[in-house]
Every structure is written in C-alpha cells, then in structure tokens.
C-alpha cells in the first residue's frame, strides 16, 4: 500500500492511504537509507511511503520514496546532525514579524538560502500588520522592497484583520505548503484563520522576553477546504544546510551570484579579493550588509562542518 506521512511524533507516524483517504497509525520496520547521512530522522511529514497492514490495522512502513526536496533544522553546536522539518514542499512560507516577536533579517536570509539550496519556492509573509504604527509599516515596506528587488515574492497579512488572506489562499491553493517562523509569530493563528474550525492551539507572547511559547510540539499536515495542505511545524530557531561546500554558498544568494560574473577572478569568494564586484556592490548599497553578513556566516559554518 502507498501513502503519505501526515503526522510525526518521533516514534509513531500517521499515514494517509492514497486511494481510500484512510489514515493509519504506523511505525518503522527495518533500517531506512537516508538521503543524507547527517540527518537524524528517517521520516518526515510530506514523505511518500510504502507500508503493510498487520493485525489491529497497525501499519508498518517498509519503504520511503525519494524526496523531491526538504528543509532541515540545525542541530546545536554545529554538529554534523540535522533534523528534517518537512519534505516534498511546493511553497515554504516564512512568517516575518517586526515585533511580538521581532524577526531578525539574518534568520530570514538563512531560510531563503536553504530554500535556494534545496530548490523550494519561498514566500515571505509580513504578519501582524494590524499592530504596527505608521513608521513601523513604512519600515516593513522598505524591507519588503529590498527582498522583492532580489527576486522574492512577499505579502503583507494579518490573521485578525483578514488582510490579504484571500490573496494568500490563491497562492496556496492545491499546493503543499509549510509555515516557518519564530515561536509566537502567528503560524497556528494563521492556519486557523485560513481554515476556520481547525482550532489549532495558540498561545500569547511572553511579556517578559517578548518571545513566543512553543505550542506546536510535532509536525502535522492539515488540509485546506480551498485545496491543498499545510505542514504545521514546531517553532524553528535556526535552519541548516548540510553537505554544502564553502564555495557553493554564493549560489544561494541570487544578488551575489549575479554579481560574481563581474569579479576579476572566476573563483572569487568575495571576502578580500581585488576587483571584487560583490564587495563594490556592498559599498554602493546594491547588496545589503545584512545579507552579506549571513553569507559570510554560512561560509564559516560550512568550513567548520567540513573539518569535523
């Protein structure tokens, strides 16, 4: 039998059988060959699998199909291990909040680089627009313009005022999407707004630290009435790229990759080389310092991982 993983708690999985839409509780049997040896979990929500039924309708997963793509969560201390968050994604939505909680541009840039590396279409959602003052709204519009100039699609939204939710439904229709962002950024609230009656658990922002509490403890797929589905995930603190060479990192920053053709040396790493077009663009503001800073950090991390 063939199915799709729609929920993962770590030891048990829920599998949606493709032909009948029946849902089975499932476990793993045997060893799975992971696509990347540095990944810790053999299965993720979004995976297509083969399984067998035994007594009490318990399903045993016997095979996993090759993944089209996936996103992974970074492990602590730059270890070689990472955890798959979701797989076979059509569009990955990054929920950016200017406040409650504050989202760093570095976190957004790391997410976008991962989408570039694993061939996933990103969509930046500027959430909680209803709580912003005029000058804060202008700041969001400035940030939005910078990323649109690079080539990234974005949308200003609010779950409470319903701002642009109809437009978001059109973008998500008949696709497998996944929502990412800091805990408290409004992932579950947004899912509830797009799918009334789902009633995912939400929580308030901590007044002390202005950070969200983890309300989603495991990944689960939910289906939209308007077509398609979303993978709801626990709050992710940092994304990871594994098995990436230092020289490859520039490929995942479109504005840097475009500029590299103008560098004097074809193997320019854009650090301190002479006649580097990327460094010149950094000086003129054509490339943003925040983006370049993330680029350097990812190259340093790739270096450290290679030496472990």
- Alpha carbon of residue 267 to chain centroid: 30
User: CB-side exposure of 56: number of CA atoms within 13 Å?
Assistant: 4
Of 303, 102, 284, 278, nearest in space to 185 by CA: 102
- Determine contact, residues 238/107, Cβ cutoff 8 Å: yes
**Is the C-alpha dihedral spanning 182, 184, 190, 191 positive or negative?**
positive
Residues at the binding site are: 127-130, 181-189, 263, 268, 270, 276
Tell me which H or E stretch contains 179: strand 176-180
Q: Strand 70-74 to strand 48-53: parallel, antiparallel, or no bridges (unpaired)?
A: unpaired
Q: What angle do CA 303, 259, 92 make, to 5 degrees?
A: 65
Binding residues for Zn(2+): 263, 268, 270, 276
Binding-site sequence positions for GTP = 127-130, 181-189
Give the span between the Cα atoms of 198 and 214, in whole angstroms. 18
| Farthest CA pair distance, the chain | 69
């Amino acid at each position: 039998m063939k199915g799709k993983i729609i929920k993962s708690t770590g030891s048990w999985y829920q599998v949606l059988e493709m032909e009948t839409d029946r849902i089975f509780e499932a476990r793993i049997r045997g060893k799975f060959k992971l696509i990347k040896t540095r990944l810790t979990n053999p299965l993720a929500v979004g995976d297509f699998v083969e399984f067998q039924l035994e007594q009490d309708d318990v399903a045993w997963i016997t095979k996993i199909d090759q993944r089209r793509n996936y996103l992974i969560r970074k492990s602590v201390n730059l270890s070689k291990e990472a955890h798959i968050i979701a797989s076979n994604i059509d569009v990955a939505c990054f929920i950016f909040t200017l406040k409650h909680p504050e989202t760093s541009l570095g976190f957004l840039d790391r997410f976008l680089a991962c989408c570039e590396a694993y061939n996933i279409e990103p969509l930046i959602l500027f959430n909680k627009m209803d709580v912003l003052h005029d000058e804060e709204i202008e700041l969001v519009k400035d940030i939005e313009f910078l990323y649109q100039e690079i080539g990234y699609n974005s949308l200003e939204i609010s779950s409470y005022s319903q701002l642009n939710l109809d437009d978001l439904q059109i973008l998500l229709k008949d696709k497998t999407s996944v929502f990412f962002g800091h805990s408290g950024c409004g992932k579950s609230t947004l899912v509830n707004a797009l799918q009334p009656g789902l009633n995912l658990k939400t929580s308030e922002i901590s007044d002390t630290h202005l950070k969200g509490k983890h309300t989603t403890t495991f990944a689960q797929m939910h289906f939209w009435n308007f077509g398609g589905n979303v993978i709801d995930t626990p709050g992710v603190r940092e994304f990871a790229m594994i098995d990436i060479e230092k020289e490859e990192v520039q490929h995942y920053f479109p504005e840097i990759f475009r500029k590299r053709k103008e560098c004097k040396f074809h193997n320019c790493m854009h650090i301190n080389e002479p006649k580097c077009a990327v460094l010149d663009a950094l000086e003129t503001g054509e490339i943003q310092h925040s983006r370049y800073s993330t680029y350097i950090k990812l190259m340093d991390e790739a270096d450290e991982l290679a030496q472990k």
